[in-house]
Structure 1
Amino acid sequence: MSTDLPVSARLAWWGTAWLRGQVVTDLLLDAVIGDEATHAVAGLGHLGLGAPADTSRGTGTGTETLLGGLARLRAEGATSFGAAFPVEGDLVGLGGPAGFNTEAVEAGEAVVVAGADVGLVPVTVGAATTWVAHRAVRRQLPDVGEADRALRQELLAAADALARLEVARWRPEVADHLMNLRHRAPLSAPDGVPARCVELAARGLQAVAVVDLALVDDGGAISAAEAQARRDALTPLERAGRRALVAACSPEVWPPA
């Protein structure tokens, strides 16, 4: 289990493996909850879904345990869990409706439950995460191969652009990361996740991390123009990294085993 993955990616991978009988419940819960104290699911009843078979799983406030919520979704026909990592202006991994999209953008991530028309948005307070349920509609997704090619292209383009901007002068650690793109910490994945998708997710996370590191302090730039040039060079890489992560964590587009 790797807590380097965003929580929505963890639920997508391990939740899908659990639905398909490839991991046991304890592994599912350990992988998704990670170092946090608790996870719960809220709002399924408001969507008109059936009551949980075991009412003791509920809290009496419309919130139930993570396992109780996932079991209810399975009973409602869930076939897989897929992740979305949207930002304003790029709703990759989302299909709507608008209310769900807005909440997902605010959180920076969400899970779409195929077969149940449900979206789950993680809301974390302290060491507790509540997955708030919304109606969701079918989404369009980047192809795994397409996302892979785009990420490779943007990594090369960003490295060239940042070299022209003398990245080593204002962010030497970014230069180090760019020069060591082949050296990535491996991600742990459950059975059923294609190896190509595990590798793509690792590269997507790496790309987003490089961008975050490079943009953490615009004060490192000589001028406002240079700061803008830096952002312009990195925005396509950040977008490609998120799209790669969405494709890698969306079973709907996984290549055949």
Structure 2
Amino acid sequence: MSRADLGGIVSPVSNVLLPRSVRLALWLSTDAPAERIATAVQGSDEPHRLLTRDGTWDLASLIAEVQSSVLTVAALLPVPGDVAAVPRAQDQYHAGTPDPVTAGECLLLGGRERHLIAVPDVQQFGSEWDFGHVVTWHVAQVDEWETAFHGAIGSLAEAESQLRTGLTHATSTIMDLELGMWRPEVKDGIAQLRDARLTDEDLPSITPRRLAALSLAVRLKAIAELALEDTSGGGAVNVWQADQSRAALLEVLRVARRAIAAATYARIER
């Protein structure tokens, strides 16, 4: 499976992936028109659909409704073993509602009277060389999520501190491995990602602080994922080293995922 299959939208810089939930959360924190947000989030996808208990909507319609009623927004990137802050759905209105952990991402919306979760179901079509994506967002009402989010994810300042530590750990782990044994494409990919920045023209205008944290977090996430692929494939010298490296890189991934979530949280003032 290629990285494009994973449901993110590829930045021009070193194939850094931005999950759709992250992109949508960032755009919803701005005052951009609904159609502009929908265009940016959909990218090269087919037009997104949304399934709610009230029926099927297009993305722009839901965005317009969100802009009039939502007060807070955030994205999460849960994985098996790390489901911190994922709220409990109150209405499983649709038999095909995907699990946020299976999807690897979700969008959280908070209002005065209700809280929502939107989980994208991404289906690829076409061939390996010429493909597209059909995306259906499943929207359900959930329990109040902000308290758990702040408790598990923390503030942007806390994320920045953990990212600095994560960068040190990632660098140390990678340097401790015998790089000569790594596949050339992995070494080249990590070298490119070290200096990568989010320069995607479809990113909204957010504060430099949020952008810097997000850029470092997605870069760390991509580096750790590449390194994990190679340690799993025999890049480490022995089993002990592979286990030690894998544990360290998984912790870097956890920090990166939570930092991305922290960077997406916004209280909307309109």
User: If the length of structure 1 is used for normalisation, what is the TM-score?
Assistant: 0.79
**Offset of 1:182 from its aligned partner?**
4.0
Correspondence 1:181-220 to 2 at 5 A: 181-188=194-201, 189-191=203-205, 193-217=206-230, 218-220=232-234
CA distance in 2, matches of 1:195, 1:187: 14
C-alpha distance 3-161 of structure 1, shift in aligned 2 (>3 A)? closer
Instruction: Tell me whether 1:69 sits opposite 2:43 in the alignment.
Output: no
Q: 1:38-73: CA deviations, max 9, x gaps?
A: 10110242xxxxxxxxxxxxxxxx211112223344
CA distance in 2, matches of 1:178, 1:145: 27
**Offset of 1:236 from its aligned partner?**
1.2
Q: What SS does structure 1 have at the residue aligned with 2:99?
A: helix
Q: What SS does structure 2 have at the residue aligned with 1:215?
A: helix
**Offset of 1:98 from its aligned partner?**
8.8
Q: 1:164-213: CA deviations, max 9, x gaps?
A: 2324432555555368634434244323x221111111111111111111
**Offset of 1:243 from its aligned partner?**
1.0
Equivalent position to 1:28, from 37, 40, 54:
37
C-alpha distance 175-78 of structure 1, shift in aligned 2 (>3 A)? same
Equivalent position to 2:134, from 99, 121, 128:
128
CA contact (8 A) 1:110 1:119 kept: yes
- Name the structure 2 match of 1:243: 258
Task: Output the aligned Cα RMSD.
Answer: 2.8
- Name the structure 2 match of 1:112: 108
CA contact (8 A) 1:12 1:82 kept: yes
CA distance in 2, matches of 1:103, 1:230: 29
CA contact (8 A) 2:90 2:141 kept: no
**Offset of 1:215 from its aligned partner?**
1.7
User: If the length of structure 2 is used for normalisation, what is the TM-score?
Assistant: 0.75
CA contact (8 A) 1:85 1:109 kept: yes
Question: What residue identity is the alignment partner of 2:19?
Answer: P
Correspondence 1:10-21 to 2 at 5 A: 10-17=23-30
Higher strand share: 2
**Offset of 1:226 from its aligned partner?**
2.7
C-alpha distance 187-148 of structure 1, shift in aligned 2 (>3 A)? farther
Correspondence 1:170-189 to 2 at 5 A: 170-171=182-183, 177=190, 181-188=194-201, 189=203
Q: 1:115-160: CA deviations, max 9, x gaps?
A: 1400000001232111101222223232101101101111112211
Q: What SS does structure 2 have at the residue aligned with 1:112?
A: strand
C-alpha distance 214-98 of structure 1, shift in aligned 2 (>3 A)? farther
CA distance in 2, matches of 1:99, 1:154: 37
Q: What SS does structure 2 have at the residue aligned with 1:135?
A: strand
Correspondence 1:227-242 to 2 at 5 A: 227-242=242-257
- Name the structure 2 match of 1:157: 169
Unaligned runs of 5+ in 2: 1-8, 12-17, 125-132
CA distance in 2, matches of 1:228, 1:178: 23
CA distance in 2, matches of 1:170, 1:41: 43
**Offset of 1:74 from its aligned partner?**
4.2
- Equivalent residue pairs, number: 231
C-alpha distance 111-179 of structure 1, shift in aligned 2 (>3 A)? closer
Greater mean deviation of Cα atoms: 171-180 or 111-120: 171-180
C-alpha distance 209-91 of structure 1, shift in aligned 2 (>3 A)? same
Instruction: Tell me whether 1:138 sits opposite 2:145 in the alignment.
Output: yes
C-alpha distance 204-152 of structure 1, shift in aligned 2 (>3 A)? same
Unaligned runs of 5+ in 1: 46-61
- Name the structure 2 match of 1:90: 82
